[in-house]
Structure 1
Amino acid sequence: MSGKMCSGSSSSGSVVQAQKLVDQLQLEAGMERIKISLTAADLVRYCQEHRRSDPLLTGISASSNPFKDKKTCTLL
């Protein structure tokens, strides 16, 4: 008998889990989405507008680099 009780409780658990999944999928399906082509165009435009201040493109001067080693390594 205890086997039947366990299977009954696990099936109700799977029903609850399935209902949560359905609710999540319905929520995601109802979301308004932005077209990728518009987002990509915005990203390209932003990168072009800010390329002069991008340290990956222009580099960092040695005097203003906060990560530059302060001391050199000397071996005795």
Structure 2
Amino acid sequence: MEAGKVYSSNTVLQARKAVEQLRLEAGLERIKISAAAAQLVQYCQENRRGDPLLTGIAASSNPFKDKKTCVLL
């Protein structure tokens, strides 16, 4: 098989995969940005009590807190 034919068949295969992916994406049901934003705000408000970025982490349960202090001699 010639190198040009192999390159051509690979290009055709890649193009078919791209077309298949685009068809899949075109068939997805989309929602309006305003509806998505409203859902996101609602989710954030409902889950704000459990969000460590908003409420902080208790020192006793923080895995990143140093166990011992640094002491210089």
TM-score (norm 1): 0.68
Q: Is 1:6 matched with 2:10?
A: no
| Distance (whole Å) between structure 1 residues aligned to residue 4 and residue 52 of structure 2 | 61
Q: 1:11–1:45: structure 2 CA closer, same or farther, 3 Å change rule?
A: same
| Distance (whole Å) between structure 2 residues aligned to residue 17 and residue 57 of structure 1 | 46
Tell me, which stretches of 5 or more residues in structure 2 are unaligned? none
Match of 1:43 among 40, 43, 51: 40
Tell me, which stretches of 5 or more residues in structure 1 are unaligned? none
Q: Which residue of 1 aligns with 2:53?
A: 56
TM-score (norm 2): 0.70
Summarize deviations over 1:13-67 as a string: whole Å, max 9, x none.
2222212211111111112223222222111111112223322222233344343
Q: Tell me the matched-pair count.
A: 73
| Identical-residue share of aligned pairs (%) | 68
